Every structure is written in structure tokens, then in C-alpha cells.
């Protein structure tokens, strides 16, 4: 039986001193804090606006005129503790500079986790070349040393676009399951490394959608020491209005039909999200691709949204 899905909306709020991100970024430690907070804010945004947890599972922070909801440890909602543990595991891998990409996946059949509904990709790099911002392959590109104001603007743009996207996606299925796979930089990550809350995972290059998948490049923020790129993948029919209207005036959002965001020159592989009708033609070439070390949660999460 269909049930009503929890829904939340964005709020405009007066500026507050209680901000999300650090006021300046002058060294690697401040950069790490910034990237952690940006990642946690993004995950919180997704879970809040997709109605996965009740209001009590979130605290309020401010980012200019945005009132953001940030996940907090809510003992009345064990699920929030579940996701927070995943975030903390990612923090551990970020601190060690092992984490290459965190992929949050939503699916409906526990026996077929490769048949997905939504994919959220967070790709990380570690550099010391001076801060740059790339608003997703557009002409809006800036090089500004460690200009904290430009980094803040890029972060605000990323969060705003993520909020717009979350509020305009079609409703989730009632019986949705969440998992998160962590991909590492093999050259520096110990073979036996597993962050808290994760176990060794299977590196599969095959993810399937019922319909035609579309990727939305949400944003990329670089501090000069770290960078985080965000991409969302779902079925094209669920974002048709978004594609035609919401981002039309903002050319910085690139919409492309492609797969997981691995750079081919880095990964020596080419991952694809295929329609089910064409998936099996890819299996023969999958075994020849280089496999990256992967972790997955000790247990997948099933939110109680009924």
C-alpha cells in the first residue's frame, strides 16, 4: 500500500554568526575541516529533503541566507546514528588521504543492490597547488590562491544546487534501501584498511537503472589542499522539468549521460551505468578492467518512512 513520504523544504533565514564552514582556510588542517563539513552538510541535505529521517534528527546551521539541517545523533532515531557512523568512517579515510570517492546508493530490492534508484557521488582529491574552483566544466573558473571568500561562494553554490535538485526529484519508492561504497587510492591505501563501520566490499562496474540514466554535475569545490566534486544520477524522466527549467538560467550545471565519475587516465578503467537492456553486453569486458579497493557498510540501512 502506498504511503505518504516525509517531505521538507528549504528555508530562507537571516544571516547568523553560527555558520557551517570555517571563516578562513590557510592550511591543510583548516582545509580538512572545510571538506568534512561540506561532505556532512551534503549528506544531511540529501537525507533531509528526501524525507529519510524526522525533524528531530537534525540540528540547524546557517550558510548566508540558507537555514540548513545537519544530521545529529538522535537516540530516538537509530537510523540517524547509522548514517552518522558512515560519515565518520569517511572522515577517517579523508584524514589519511585514502578516500577517492564515496558513493551513496539507493535501491529497493535487497537481493539486487545493483539495480539502483538514485546515486550520489562524492569524489575527493588531495593537492597543494593553490585553490581553484571549477563550476562543472563551465566558463566560470577561478584561480585565487587560498581565497576563502571564493571557496565559500563555491560551497554555497554547490549546496544551493543540491537543495534545488532534492526538492524537484520525484518521490522515492516506499521500501528504499541505502548503502555507501568507498573507493580508495590504491597506491597509498593499505590492503587491509577498513574505516569504522565498513567492511571489504565488492568492486562491481555494473549499476543498472530501469530507464535511461542521467548525471547532474552539481559542483566542485577546491581549497588548494583538498577538492570535492558532487554528482547525482537518476532516471531522466524524474528530472525532465529540472533539466528544462530550473538550471536553464545557470549554465554551470552540466547534465551528461555517463557513468561513475572515475577519470580514465587515473583509474585505467571506464565505469558505466547502463540501461538493463544493454547491461549484459558489458559483462565480458568488466573482468579485464582494473579493480579499485572498495569498502561497504557492515550493514545496509532501511529507513522507516511509513
Closest CA to 261 of 215, 197, 203: 215
Position 85 scores a pLDDT of 94
- List of long-range contacts for 120-123, beta carbons under 8 Å, 24+ apart: 120/42, 120/46, 120/230, 120/231, 120/232, 120/233, 121/229, 121/230, 121/231, 121/232, 121/233, 121/260, 121/261, 122/39, 122/42, 122/228, 122/229, 122/230, 123/228, 123/229, 123/230, 123/231, 123/261
Position 74 scores a pLDDT of 79
Is the pLDDT assigned to residue 197 strictly greater than 60? yes
Is the pLDDT assigned to residue 284 strictly greater than 80? no
Helix (H) or strand (E) holding 87: helix 78-95
* 45-98 pLDDT tens trace: 999 999 888 888 999 888 777 788 899 887 788 888 889 999 999 999 999 999
What average pLDDT does this structure show over 143-155? 70
Position 179 scores a pLDDT of 93
Rounded mean pLDDT of the chain? 75
- Look at 19 and 205; give whichever has higher pLDDT: 205
How many angstroms separate the CA atoms of 122 and 43, rounded?
10
Cβ neighbours, 10 Å, residue 158: 24
pTM above 0.75, yes or no: yes
* 262-278 pLDDT tens trace: 554 344 333 334 444 33
Is the pLDDT assigned to residue 202 strictly greater than 50? yes
Closest CA to 70 of 104, 94, 50, 46: 46
- DSSP-derived letter for residue 74 is -
* 95-132 pLDDT tens trace: 999 999 999 999 999 888 888 989 999 999 998 654 33
For 28-131+146-189+204-256, the fitting CATH number among 3.40.50.10610, 3.40.50.620, 3.30.900.10, 1.10.3720.10 is 3.30.900.10
How many angstroms separate the CA atoms of 26 and 145, rounded?
10
Residue 181's pLDDT band, with cuts at 50, 70 and 90, is very high
Position 259 scores a pLDDT of 53
Is the pLDDT assigned to residue 248 strictly greater than 60? no
Residue 290's pLDDT band, with cuts at 50, 70 and 90, is low
Cβ neighbours, 10 Å, residue 239: 20
How many angstroms separate the CA atoms of 36 and 40, rounded?
6
Helix (H) or strand (E) holding 259: none
Residue 231's pLDDT band, with cuts at 50, 70 and 90, is very high
How many angstroms separate the CA atoms of 200 and 198, rounded?
7
209 forms beta bridges with 275
Position 210 scores a pLDDT of 81
Residue 186's pLDDT band, with cuts at 50, 70 and 90, is very high
Position 166 scores a pLDDT of 87
Amino acid at each position: 500500500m502506498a504511503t505518504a513520504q516525509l517531505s521538507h523544504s528549504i528555508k530562507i533565514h537571516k544571516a547568523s554568526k553560527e555558520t557551517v564552514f570555517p571563516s578562513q582556510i590557510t592550511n591543510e588542517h583548516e582545509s580538512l575541516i572545510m571538506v568534512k563539513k561540506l561532505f556532512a552538510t551534503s549528506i544531511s541535505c540529501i537525507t533531509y529533503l528526501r524525507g529519510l529521517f524526522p525533524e528531530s534528527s537534525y540540528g540547524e546551521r546557517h550558510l548566508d541566507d540558507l537555514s540548513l539541517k545537519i544530521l545529529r545523533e538522535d537516540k530516538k532515531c537509530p537510523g540517524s546514528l547509522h548514517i552518522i557512523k558512515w560519515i565518520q568512517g569517511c572522515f577517517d579515510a579523508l584524514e589519511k588521504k585514502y578516500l577517492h570517492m564515496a558513493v551513496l546508493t539507493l535501491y529497493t530490492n535487497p537481493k539486487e543492490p545493483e539495480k539502483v534508484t538514485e546515486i550520489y557521488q562524492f569524489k575527493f582529491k588531495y593537492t597543494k597547488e593553490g585553490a581553484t574552483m571549477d563550476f562543472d566544466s563551465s566558463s566560470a573558473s577561478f584561480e585565487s590562491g587560498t581565497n576563502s571568500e571564493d571557496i565559500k561562494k563555491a560551497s554555497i553554490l554547490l549546496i544551493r544546487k543540491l537543495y534545488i535538485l532534492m526538492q524537484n526529484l520525484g518521490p522515492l519508492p516506499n521500501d528504499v534501501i541505502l548503502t555507501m561504497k568507498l573507493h580508495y587510492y590504491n597506491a597509498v591505501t593499505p590492503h587491509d584498511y577498513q574505516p569504522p563501520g565498513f567492511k571489504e566490499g565488492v568492486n562491481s562496474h555494473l549499476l543498472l537503472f530501469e530507464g535511461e540514466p542521467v548525471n547532474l554535475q552539481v559542483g566542485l569545490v577546491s581549497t588548494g589542499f583538498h577538492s570535492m566534486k558532487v554528482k547525482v544520477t537518476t532516471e531522466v524522466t524524474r528530472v525532465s522539468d529540472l533539466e528544462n527549467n530550473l538550471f536553464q538560467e545557470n549554465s554551470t550545471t552540466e547534465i551528461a549521460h555517463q557513468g561513475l565519475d572515475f577519470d580514465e587516465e587515473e583509474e585505467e578503467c571506464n565505469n558505466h551505468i547502463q540501461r538493463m537492456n544493454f547491461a549484459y553486453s558489458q559483462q565480458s569486458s568488466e573482468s579485464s578492467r582494473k579493480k579499485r579497493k572498495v569498502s561497504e557498510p557492515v550493514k545496509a540501512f532501511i529507513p522507516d518512512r511509513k
